[in-house]
Amino acid sequence: MNSQEPHLRGRVALITGASRNLGAGIARAMASHGARVAVNYHSSRAAAGQVIAGLEGSGHAAVAGDVSSAEGVEKLVAEAERIMAATIDILVNNAGPFSMTPYTELEPAEFDFIWNSNVRAAYLAARRVAPGMSAHGWGRIVNISAGSAFLRNHSVYTLAKDAMITLTEQLAVELGPAITVNCVAPGQIAESAGDMAGFDKDFVSRTIARTPAGRLVTRRDVAGVVLALCSPAFDMVTGATVPVDGGARLPVG
């Protein structure tokens, strides 16, 4: 999308887990199209500050918050609204810790952490921002799922990311017409490929081999889709999940 078309000017975006990696890329995309961005971080204000320093425009802010607890989500949204002096127009539920611990070895505390930080956090944040969006007659919620939603070897992470898709559909039904709710499911992201080696040393090579696009998706690829879902061109798209994986999820005979 052309950076000379600031279709988000005057909008306020809250992106959870935005102090690094994909969240930071989404923050840059939003800012490049005119949004003021609340960059959520959990533990590193310095990292969030570095992201903000690289954003186009002004009026951006770092907002602390732990999405693994209900209280943390409420405090995060309230603090973002206070600092930005506005209600939230765009919510990107990006935070979502990963796990591949087999169910037979998975402790209940880890299950709760992965589920709460992904699914429950998205539901709570959406519930919190929806009234303000409805009052203004416009809102965009984008949930970040993952290619893991289509796999069956990523344990509770698969469960959580699959649930994000169903949550998206239900929220779209409940929150229309003023608010659209969509989901993006990135495949293995190139910049994070090294992180998978500790879990499965051949995962990346297998993924590329079966991907019609012949490469891994990048953070910029994913951020571009998130941005597009908040543009006028997608006003009639809601309840959709967009896989951004170069076709890696497709079965090959």
- Can you give the pLDDT at residue 2? 52
Q: At which residue do the structure tokens 């935005």 appear? A: 18
Average pLDDT over residues 198-205: 88
Q: Which residues are catalytically annotated?
A: 157
Provide DSSP, the chain.
Answer: --TT--TTTT-EEEETT-SSHHHHHHHHHHHHTT-EEEEEESS-HHHHHHHHHTSSSS--EEEE--TTSHHHHHHHHHHHHHHHTS--SEEEE---------TTT--HHHHHHHHIIIIIHHHHHHHHHHHHHHHHT-EEEEEE--GGGG-SSSHHHHHHHHHHHHHHHHHHHHHTTTEEEEEEEE-SBGGGGGGGTTT-TTHHHHHHHH-TTSS-B-HHHHHHHHHHHTSGGGTT--S-EEEESTTTTS---
pLDDT of residue 195 exceeding 90, the answer is no
* Alpha-carbon distances of 131 from 125, 139, 180, 253, rounded to whole Å: 11, 10, 13, 47
Average pLDDT over residues 211-225: 97
- Can you give the pLDDT at residue 242? 98
Q: At which residue do the structure tokens 């087999």 appear? A: 102
- Can you give the pLDDT at residue 65? 97
Task: Give the domains, in start order, of the chain with CATH numbers.
Answer: 12-240 (3.40.50.720)
